[in-house]
Structure 1
Amino acid sequence: MKTPNHMDLGATLEQSRSGLRDSHRRSLMRLLFAITGASLVMFACLQILNGFWWVAAGELVASALLFFGVWRLQVTDFLQQWICAYLVMLFSFFLIIMVLPEASVSAFVWILMIPVLAYLLLGKHEGMILSLPFMLVGVVIYYLHLGDMGSAHVLIDLLNLVLCAVLMLTFMHVYEQRREESEKRLVDMAQTDALTGLANRSSFQSTLNRTIAECERSGNEFALVIMDIDHFKVVNDTLGHDAGDRVLQNIGKCLTERLRATDAVGRLGGEEFGLILKDVKAAAAFELMDELRQRIAGCHLAYGQACIRVTASFGLAQWPEHGRSAEALFCMADRGLYTGKRAGRNCVAQADGVKQSSSQCISAGQTG
């Protein structure tokens, strides 16, 4: 069976600090670095004309660092640190502009940009930590800039900025919180089989790839098992698809109850399930699956006036004995599964032969 590679959505979500994936943040930061660097060159020229040589020198130095960053951001593994450094310098620049003797009142509107940039590029937690102190300092500077608070007009100006800053920070925090929750729900839906609640094929494949990578580093073994419900079509044909769904749900519950927390189980499609048994030798994996086979065969599912009994066949492949890649393991587990099917079903088998088989399969859909 050919098993295509799938994007690991769970890992992608964990690596994402905000609504932007790291690749998008990297591209956006390169653009921001380039725009900010070019803007600082123009501002430096204006500061020279205004007589602020020290400000112009600082802006030119910052511009040179930003243009270096445009190149460096393509390859760096420290993207988060680069973003934090950029935002700290940018927000500090906002404050410097505000404290200049001839600062324009319009310069203080940059206070409202602080939470937008911080939350967009850093996410909810780090965005709040970075933006809150800079916004507080900016409001204090604006208060000192206004001077006498005895005038109602001046007080209104201060309250307008404070209210807008609070609303902007609150809006960004609530928005980012809801976005994270919605994204997590969407990822869960994309990785979960709706009927059984187990991992779907894509998610199971990602787990298998991660397990292989972990075992390559640690040298531990694991087993990949493909399980198929015997004669499942009989249930659908005789009792209906609702009964078949109940059987699948019951099987899924049976699998999750018996396996360890470190193991993984998923529905690969139809009546086929996949299991990953970590840190087990081949003999132990076989014993566990044979016990599970017996448990499934002995389970009676009441459905109306009928009592549904099914059996299952298992194909087992051991890493690295039967292959080191996901595709090779799936192929060997599949071969074991169909070896067991040909041998009479209701058994656990490897590609090189049946290891255990019951004397007679129990008919699926039998009523009592």
Structure 2
Amino acid sequence: MPGRLIQTDEHRRKVLRALLWITVCGGSFFSVFNLLHDNWLLAGLEIAYASVSLFMLTIINTTPRLPLWTTIYLLPFFSIMMVGLAQTHTIFAIFAWIQTIPIICYMLLGLRLGMCGSLLFVGIGLYVFTWRFSSESLLHNLEIVTNLGLASLTVMIFAHIYERSRLINEQRLTEKATTDALTGLPNRLKLAEVFERERAQALRNGTPLALVFLDIDHFKQINDRFGHEGGDRALQHFAEVLQQRLRQSDLLCRLGGEEFAVLLPGSTPTDALEVAESLRERLASTSLEIDGKPLQMTLSAGLAHFGEDGLILSSLMLAADKRTYAAKRAGRNRVIARDESPEIEVRHQA
């Protein structure tokens, strides 16, 4: 989901910014350190990489190509680690950086790519370390590799668990923020999110898209008669009944109060009118009993069509809302698909 993607991207931007600053500072320091030890290759790589990192800091907040720049950062970052580990001028303490690979991979690449990157580069690091610091004792070499391998695996497992938990919690928060607590329906925020996706598809493929605005008739009287608890039950009944008449691709949302909306991807004006009419008929024919008293509910609806009534959600909402109030003025329990004109199209219960 886009909302979740936006949150994940922002999280990864923060992580990458922190790593870039660490790279600029660390690269500058170690380049001088390696120059003093006549390690020109590693010093040159660190100076070049620190410069690249400094440039990335100027664009990372706004670039839409975050995965590309993440890859551009990580491949040289891990490769320099391997080069440093393989250099005879360096000490074995550089292996400490290898332990950061799983954390960095999972935080910047996610679960699947994080696991692949961790296994690849940690495996290379272990091989290079064993090649450089192996002794004549097979048992001693096995002990070193086992300890380093288990330590790396432990870090990777913890990084995997953390990232998985973070994604699950992020998903739960996103769902909570985009769901109406009373009816369990998506809310206005979710409607805006899904509309942007369907809008892009409609523009790209030329497919139709319609929006239906729904308003429960005489909802204030329902509250006055049955109290707010009865009003809540009426809203839940409304949501349950209408969902039964919609396709899986359709999106029924509660906008607030007694106002709802249905987004109908792939629906022509004729299709949308038929759907709205079937919803109206379904609600009118399904009564609700509250405290042993029957409640007959009806709705008024207005339609709006992508392109004809606008290209953004606010334009469609305005047009559909206007027609809904026209339906109420005309007597309620009806659907209006066009503005009041000689070509007005109205359907209502006879």
- Relative to the length of structure 1, the TM-score reads 0.82
For 1:315 and 1:331, the matched residues in 2 are separated by: 10
2:207 and 2:231 mapped to 1: Cα distance? 37
Kindly state the Cα deviation for residue 266 of structure 1 after the two structures are TM-superposed. 0.3
Return the match for 1:147 from 135, 147, 151.
135
1:146-165 equivalence runs, <5 A: 146-149=134-137, 159-165=146-152
- Cα distance in 2 for partners of 1:327, 1:69 equals 37
Q: Aligned letter for 1:220? A: T
Change (3 A) 1:79 1:21: closer
Measured at CA, do residues 336 and 151 of structure 1 come closer, stay the same or move farther in structure 2, by a change above 3 Å? closer
Give distance in 2, aligned partners of 1:82 and 1:69: 8
* 1:47, distance to aligned residue in structure 2 (A): 3.1
159-168 or 191-200: bigger deviation: 159-168
The offset of 1:277, in angstroms, is: 1.9
1:351 aligns with 2:339: yes
Query: 1:8-27, aligned counterparts within 5 Å?
Result: 10-14=1-5, 20-22=8-10, 25-26=12-13
Aligned with 1:123: secondary structure? helix
State the alpha-carbon separation in 1 of the partners of residues 264 and 95 from structure 2. 59
Q: CA deviation at 1:131?
A: 1.4
Query: What is the alpha-carbon distance in structure 2 between the residues aligned to residue 157 and residue 287 of structure 1?
Result: 72
Does the CA contact (< 8 Å) of 1:313 and 1:345 recur in 2?
yes
Q: How does 1:271-290 map to 2 (within 5 A)?
A: 271-290=258-277
How far the C-alpha of 1:260 sits from its partner, in A, is: 1.9
**SS, match of residue 225 in structure 1:** strand
Letter in 2 for 1:165: S
Match of 1:131 among 114, 118, 121: 118
Equivalent position of 1:267 in the other structure: 254
Give the SS at the match of 1:130: helix
- Unaligned 5+ segments in structure 1 are 1-9, 360-368
Return the alpha-carbon distance in structure 2 between the equivalents of residues 142 and 281 of structure 1.
65
1:234 maps to amino acid: Q
Shift in Å at residue 226 of structure 1? 0.9
Q: What residue ranges of structure 2 are gaps of 5+ in the alignment?
A: none
8 Å CA contact 1:31–1:70 kept in 2: the answer is no
Q: Distance in 2 between matches of 1:66 and 1:321?
A: 48
**Which of 173, 197, 201 is the equivalent residue of 1:210?**
197
5 Å matches for 1:1-368? 10-14=1-5, 20-22=8-10, 25-26=12-13, 29=16, 32-33=19-20, 35-37=22-24, 39-67=26-54, 69-70=56-57, 73=60, 77-144=64-131, 145-149=133-137, 159-349=146-336, 350-352=338-340, 353=344, 355-359=346-350
Cα distance in 1, alignment partners of residues 268 and 89 from structure 2: 76
State the alpha-carbon separation in 1 of the partners of residues 91 and 61 from structure 2: 37
Per the alignment, in what secondary structure is the counterpart of residue 258 of structure 1?
coil
1:57–1:252: structure 2 CA closer, same or farther, 3 Å change rule? Answer: same
Distance 1:108 1:324 in 2: 56
Normalization by structure 2: what TM-score?
0.86
The answer to which of 273-282 and 39-48 deviates more is 39-48
Deviation of the 1:184 alpha carbon: 0.5
After superposition, the Cα gap between the structure-2 partners of 1:178 and 1:67, relative to the gap in structure 1 and judged at 3 Å, is closer
Quick one: which amino acid aligns to residue 181 of structure 2?
A
Aligned residue type for 1:267: R
Change (3 A) 1:107 1:254: same
Q: Is the 8 A contact 1:346 1:358 kept in 2?
A: yes
Alpha-carbon contact 2:179-2:187 (below 8 Å) kept: yes
Q: Percent identity?
A: 34
Structure 1 residue 33, shift from structure 2 partner: 4.2
2:244 alignment partner, SS class: helix
TM-aligned CA distance change 1:260 to 1:90, over 3 Å: same
The answer to whether the 8 A contact 1:301-1:307 is kept is yes
